[in-house]
Structure 1
């Protein structure tokens, strides 16, 4: 006698109730293994029945035949009882609606809820998850993986591919408008006067303003030399007609030489009064940019006027295109500074996670808090996945799948029942004969 139809190797029944979830197909090897165990259990039961029939036909129930018959009788009882028990888990034995049979099909939803409750109470707790987080050595293992240059390079390649893919699928027109609007808004909100004041202070502290002044003065001197004839002609045009040419020439030469000499003195003398005055004026300008409301308002008005210029609007609108082109070029080139920096930072981060115990402790503490938060606030949602999924499974298919998972081991119960029943029957008959 078998324990019902052997589960098929294919998936669910054709007529599944609405809303049920179809389960994946099982391997044929598991089906064949269950069939072999069922044949063995049935074979032992049939062997006991054959022995019993032989004893009834050939023997007279006396002597050795009595022992054999009692053994066969008890073996059949044990085998049949365990067949009934195993079959009752998955279906009604002989299709008879006997109470408390077909337990798994009838209690499928309750089993799912019980399993979900068990997982929630004994697995998804703050203590258990915290212990598992520490035992998993997540920071150290992640650090070891990241510290390997090969892994860092692979991660950099994957991130580059992801960035390139995202950049290519984005809608450029919308992003271009958003980036331009964001940049314009941030620039208008920028306190540019204090920023310019700090810039002027930095230039003065570094002495770059004096170097710029020297460059300007040298350029001016060169410009005067290159255009001496033009200036001489201009002086002649502005001079009264009654002034002789020789006098104009003498006055011009004298003035021009004095101007050139003055420029040379300023260029060569780092302590010249003009330089000191220039330094003082810049320092005063920086202070006004910090404290003078009128000066600050003028700078902000100039900023807004500059941002309203069409060329600036055009530049801001093209900002996303420039950023995208730069990003794609940098991520697509394995030898780019961006890729190399990403790999170097990845390796460094891995080394810190691997070697710094304080960092590992902080990461572990953060992971413990995260797992505790999940266990406290989302344990019910997570375990509902178990109960709701099992509830949506097809009842008959669930029973067949569970039988495939544990049925092979349950057939040993039938085999053991047949063997133990035989031994028990033999022992009982022997004691009866002795006493």
Structure 2
């Protein structure tokens, strides 16, 4: 007999005695409850198969010894002989998958331990070819109507609440991971890039020009004129005192009173005239001033420089940092408070939006079709781009397994069913032995 020169993975067992299979090695790993149940079932089936072989051996010995005295036992002997042959052949076939039979390194045995990596590669290739096909994935997604099922779940009881709960957990986790100083630095850089670096004069001038052209500033001017007229009407003594305080000391006091009254009356008449006449010269002068200011902010270098100077004074480095800090603190505090309160306006509106979206997915066939198409395209892209990497997980995982552990894992999953092969082989061998002996006896006996 030719002996394989590969190193032995298990110690050799004595060749004498009936062939027996050891249970699957569990190694240092603790079996899960499910695997422990499978291991018990596997041991039971091995015991049943071995018991049948031993029973047939006993029957064969008895029948062989007494067949001359009782000729009909020849048929029993033939059946037992065929059953033992079938049992031994199938024991060898099953055992050869997982280990060397009786420890003898016969060629083409211990298939799984020796060819573990090739099996893993073949399994990965099989999954990649037959399961990670772009068309297969897209057809499966189309058949299950993902958007419809998601829509029913979102619009049903508990769906929106679950999404809101998980979203709140994501937000809280994100805030825990984010560093406040880093976020504030990002906000500060964005403020500087988009708010401080561009000149303020031209955009402010263009915005003001549109506002003035449409007359939206007239309401503000009306408000200022109204307040000025009301102030003059309510402050007669103040106006008179201002005139008295600024007149020469040699002017008699009654003259100051007359002059003060006259000045007050004229000012009041002037403010009332401006207030009542939309086309008053003062209003036109204000319009012209504002229009010129808008033009200067856009095109006058001196005015643009003054606007930049004001910007620098108002938003210096300390102010920008403080603005970024307050902005982040406000956003963070508001979001955390909202997600922690299930009755907050943000949470309530978010749940309502989720339910509405779910209802639209169920009732709007066009929207559901678009989303299903997007999901199919996305899944197709992922499968097309990464299917080799996904299948490679199977190949790499099997390659990292120990050969004996791999054999034990596989035997644990399918070994119970394989023991039925031994039992069937015993039964079929018995029937075949009996049939062959019967035909031979009838033909040549």
TM-score tier (shorter): 0.7 to 0.9
Counterpart of 1:355 in structure 2 is 363
Specify the alignment match of 2:147 in structure 1: 139
1:411 correspondence with 2:419: yes
For residue 227 of structure 2, what is the aligned residue in structure 1?
A: 219
* TM superposition shift of 1:390: 0.7
**Structure 1 counterpart of 2:348, from 340, 347, 350:** 340
2: CA distance between counterparts of 1:233 and 1:46? 131
CA–CA separation in structure 2 for the residues paired with 1:380 and 1:23: 32
Structure 2 Cα separation of the partners of residues 71 and 399 of structure 1: 34
Q: Using a 3 Å threshold, how does the CA distance of structure 1 residues 416 and 242 change in structure 2: closer, same or farther?
A: closer
Deviation at 1:369, TM superposition (A): 2.5
Partners of 1:325 and 1:216 in 2: CA distance? 38
Provide the rounded CA distance (Å) in 2 between the counterparts of 1:401 and 1:289.
79
Asked whether the 8 Å contact 2:79–2:430 carries over to 1, the reply is yes
Map 1:268-279; keep pairs closer than 5 Å: 268-279=276-287
Equivalent residues in 2 for 1:360-371, closer than 5 Å:
360-371=368-379
How do 1:364-383 and structure 2 match up within 5 A?
364-383=372-391
SS of the aligned residue for 2:343 comes to coil
Distance 1:144 1:233 in 2: 79
Q: Distance in 2 between matches of 1:165 and 1:71?
A: 72
In the alignment, structure 1 segments of 5+ residues that lack a partner are 15-21
Contact 1:55 1:61 in 2 (8 A): no
TM-score under structure 1 normalisation? 0.87
Shift of 1:309: 7.2
Equivalent runs, 1:140-155 vs 2, <5 Å: 140-148=148-156, 150-155=158-163
Q: 1:105 to 1:333 in 2, by over 3 A?
A: same
- Corresponding residue of 2:23: 6
Specify whether residues 311 and 107 from structure 1 end up closer, same or farther in structure 2 by C-alpha distance, changes over 3 A only.
closer
1:384 counterpart (383, 392, 408):
392
Q: CA separation in 1, counterparts of 2:319 and 2:267? A: 40
Taking the aligned partners of 1:102 and 1:311, their CA distance within structure 2 comes to 76
Q: What is the root-mean-square deviation of aligned Cα atoms in Å?
A: 2.8
Residues 59, 285 of structure 1: alpha-carbon distance in 2 compared, 3 angstrom cutoff:
same
Most deviating of 138-147 and 205-214: 205-214
Q: Is the 8 A contact 1:145 1:151 kept in 2?
A: yes
Distance 1:309 1:112 in 2: 62
1:148-173 deviation line (CA, Å, top 9, x unaligned):
36321232133223323432454333
Q: 1:332 & 1:160 partners in 2: Cα distance?
A: 7
Q: How much does 1:121 deviate?
A: 1.5
Map 1:46-65 to 2 at 5 A: 46-60=54-68, 63-65=71-73
The separation in 2 between residues aligned to 1:239 and 1:404, in whole angstroms, is 114
Structure 2 partner of 1:130: 138
Deviation track 1:401-431 (CA, whole Å, cap 9, x = no partner) reads 2112111111111111111111111111111
* Residues 1:305 and 2:321 aligned together: no
What residue is the counterpart of 2:53 in the other structure?
45
User: Secondary structure at 1:318's aligned position in 2?
Assistant: helix
Q: Which deviates more, 106-115 or 274-283?
A: 274-283
Partners in 2 of 1:93 and 1:149 — Cα distance? 59
Shift of 1:85: 0.9
Cα contact 1:3–1:93 (8 A) shared by 2 = no
TM-score (norm 2): 0.85
- The alpha carbon displacement at 1:136 in A equals 3.0
Contact kept in structure 2, 1:124 and 1:379, CA below 8 Å: yes
**Gap change, CA 1:327 and 1:392, over 3 Å in 2:** same
